[in-house]
Each structure stands twice: as C-alpha cells, then as structure tokens.
Amino acid sequence: MTTIAPIVPGTTARRAGEVDNLATYLSFGLAYVVGHGAAAVSHGADPLVRLPGWLPLTLLGIGLAVGTVNATIAATRAQRGAGKPEALAGKLLGAAWITGFTALFLAITGLSAAIDHPELQAMLWPAGSSLVVGLLYLAEGVARRNALHYTLGTCLVLVAGVSFLFGTPGLFWILAVVGGFAYAVAAVLERRRLARV
C-alpha cells in the first residue's frame, strides 16, 4: 500500500530540476539599481553627485557577486533529484556562464587595445555583461522550460542593446532604471510562479 504525503498549506512540492530564482532576481535587481544607479548619478559633464570612480563599480561588483552566489545555490538545489538529461543541461548551462564572460573579457580587451577611446570600457562592460546575462537567461529559459526566465532574458538583451545608443551616463540610467525594473517585475512574477509549481 502506497501512502501519499499530505500537502501542508503554504508549501509547494516542486518538480526535480525546478530552479527558484527569487533571491537571484532580487540580488541582481539591487545590483543594477545601486551599482548602475551610482554610475549614472556620478558620470557625465555635470554629475549629480561626485563619487570616487571605483565606488559604483565596487557596488555593482558586490551585488553581482551576491546574485551569482544565489544563482549557484539555486541551480545546485535544482540538481538534486534531477535526471541525467536535466543534470547535464544544468552543468552545460553553468559552463556557458564561464564561456560567455571569458569571451566578453577577450572582446573588450581586444577592442580597447585596437581603438583608443577612453569611455569604451565604461560602456562595454556594463552593457556587454547585460547582453551576456540576457542571452544565458534565454538559453536557461528554453532548457528549463521557464517562460519567465526566457522573457527576462529577452528584456535584458534588448535593454543592453538600446543602452549603447545613449553613451554615458545615459547607458547607466537605462540599465539602472529599466534593467532594475525588469528584475523587480521578474521577482514578483517568480514568487507567483513558484506558488503554482
């Protein structure tokens, strides 16, 4: 005789391989708002606030590091109980993050060496990182059949592309406001998605 565990109100049983992205979305959203926001208010001909050049990058880096740790924890938890195909997909997606950011580093380093433009790296790193993250979210959304993750990836890719049109500090404003808002909306929708899973 098989027994079925009772469903406790307020808890949900998630299928194996399901990733809880809530903490990741909140972390990255804060990183965008605080890090890119600090760069937005401190750059330009007449900045709103004078900040040391290292501070916005440090704030962004801390936020992205926290988001990366949260994403890694969520992906590791999702691997528990996952079948071989799902586990392999998770490992390949994890490796794609390393590949994507290595390629971005090489591209920015090469372009900076070939083109003598002081603001080039200030534009390429934030927008390029958003582009890489967005493309990886698209791939993860497809592999995990997660439409919300895919949609957030689409938004980030488009935001990154549009931000290049505005130079600095406009690029930082676009990333902070639109990118931060996209993550905030995704966090709200993720909570609802997880309640249904």
Mean of all residue pLDDT scores within the chain = 85
pLDDT for residue 12: 41
The residue with greater pLDDT, 84 or 18, is: 84
Q: How far from 61 is each of 30, 36, 45, 93, CA to CA, in Å?
A: 11, 10, 24, 22
For residue 132, what are its two tokens?
Answer: 């890489």
Give the pLDDT mean for 174-197: 93
Would you tell me how many other CB atoms lie within 10 Å of the CB of residue 50?
Answer: 7
Give the model's pLDDT for residue 5.
Answer: 36
What pLDDT was estimated at residue 186? 96
Give which of 28, 40, 7 is closest to 149, Cα–Cα.
Answer: 28
Residues 164-178 have a mean pLDDT of: 94
